[in-house]
Amino acid sequence: MIDSDLGVYSDTLLALALAFGLDAKNEARVAALSVSRPDLSAAQFCESVRNFYSGLRGAAAVRMFGRALPVGMAEGPLVKPTPAFESVLARKSADGQPVYGNNVVEVNDTAEPRALIRNAFTAQHDQNAILILAGPATTLARMMELPGVKQIVAAKVRYLVLAAGDFRSGRLDPRVEADPAALTRLLELWPGQVIAVGCEMNESLPLDQAALETAWAWATEHPIAEAWKQSKPGEIRTRDTVALLHAGRRHEKYFAESEPGMIRVSGKGVTEFVPSTGGRHLRLSADTAQLEKARAAAVDLIATKPTPRGPRRF
């Protein structure tokens, strides 16, 4: 399950592609997607991406995926649409139909995110779910406060991968700065393990833009590739990509996990990792020995072709 501020960083697009790459290779299932900003274009884009990876197109995908869980979106006044998403979603095929169809027309076509993610957990086998947060913690903190959720999480979720925080001294991550109290609350309530991937990991997995475009060469239509190119990434930050790669292939040890500790959040949003025996938090750092292996894996997963598969039924 992924809750992200999709549309803010181009890195998140790559992370989304990587997640669906894991899905296409049968290593994981993307069970729920939620956008932590009230950006309708981001929610529409998420649903289009999900439809794209089903291997179906247009109306057929829309019909099939009417059965799957909808995309969640944070509450609040809608923000301006993300230009890259608007542009991609506006693409029409020769018959005038949208190339990337989706069912989201208005806010009520998206899901209330707390209920969505909780409901997705309830359908998992015990200890079979991984939650990735790549955005402010507002939605997840509120979800954790729902009655019974803590018990559900303890049963169903292996760990939380937290693509938020900056563990270099005194630095601020805008994702935490947006709502520091929410992250504090989430960490207080979360019953299991948390793996933090801080901003310092942005440079830990250098991805070559040309290499990505080559890997995507097979795709005449690819919503993520198109959106990513339009977002003019320039220098590629990869914190979110690292987070998803580690979430899905932790056993490969592409990155180093710290000794146990505790994440502290100041009132202003400065995050600090404090080693502590018995702590439930870990912090990720780069492992130069694994760099090439990690980079190859990331590019391969990001550029994986969709594997046609029907929607998972709860």
Give the CA dihedral 240, 243, 245, 250, nearest 10 degrees: 180
Task: Choose which of 114, 222, 237, 295 interacts with other proteins (CB under 8 A).
Answer: 114
Residue 225 sits in the site that holds other proteins (CB under 8 A)? no
Task: Choose which of 96, 148, 234, 267 interacts with other proteins (CB under 8 A).
Answer: 148
Candidates 62-70, 76-84, 196-204, 254-262; binding stretch for other proteins (CB under 8 A)? 62-70
Least distance between other proteins and beta carbon 211 (Å): 38
Candidates 101-109, 164-172, 264-272, 297-305; binding stretch for other proteins (CB under 8 A)? 101-109
Residue 35 sits in the site that holds other proteins (CB under 8 A)? no
Candidates 21-29, 141-149, 201-209, 243-251; binding stretch for other proteins (CB under 8 A)? 141-149
C-alpha span between 228 and 13 (Å, rounded): 7
How many residues touch other proteins (CB under 8 A)? Answer: 24
Task: Choose which of 115, 154, 217, 296 interacts with other proteins (CB under 8 A).
Answer: 115
C-alpha span between 305 and 270 (Å, rounded): 39
> Which among 159, 233, 243 has a CA at the least distance from the CA of 198?
243
Task: Choose which of 8, 62, 79, 123 interacts with other proteins (CB under 8 A).
Answer: 123
Candidates 6-14, 64-72, 203-211, 235-243; binding stretch for other proteins (CB under 8 A)? 64-72
C-alpha span between 164 and 196 (Å, rounded): 7
Task: Choose which of 112, 173, 179, 200 interacts with other proteins (CB under 8 A).
Answer: 112
Task: Choose which of 125, 232, 251, 268 interacts with other proteins (CB under 8 A).
Answer: 125
> Which among 112, 120, 148, 97 has a CA at the least distance from the CA of 38?
112
Residue 119 sits in the site that holds other proteins (CB under 8 A)? yes
Residue 78 sits in the site that holds other proteins (CB under 8 A)? no
Least distance between other proteins and beta carbon 101 (Å): 17
Candidates 50-58, 86-94, 120-128, 289-297; binding stretch for other proteins (CB under 8 A)? 120-128
Residue 70 sits in the site that holds other proteins (CB under 8 A)? yes
Task: Choose which of 60, 90, 146, 217 interacts with other proteins (CB under 8 A).
Answer: 146
Of 154 and 314, which has the nearer Cβ to other proteins?
314
Task: Choose which of 69, 182, 183, 245 interacts with other proteins (CB under 8 A).
Answer: 69
Q: Where on the chain is the footprint of other proteins (CB under 8 A)? A: 67, 69-70, 72, 107-112, 114-116, 118-119, 122-125, 146-148, 313-314
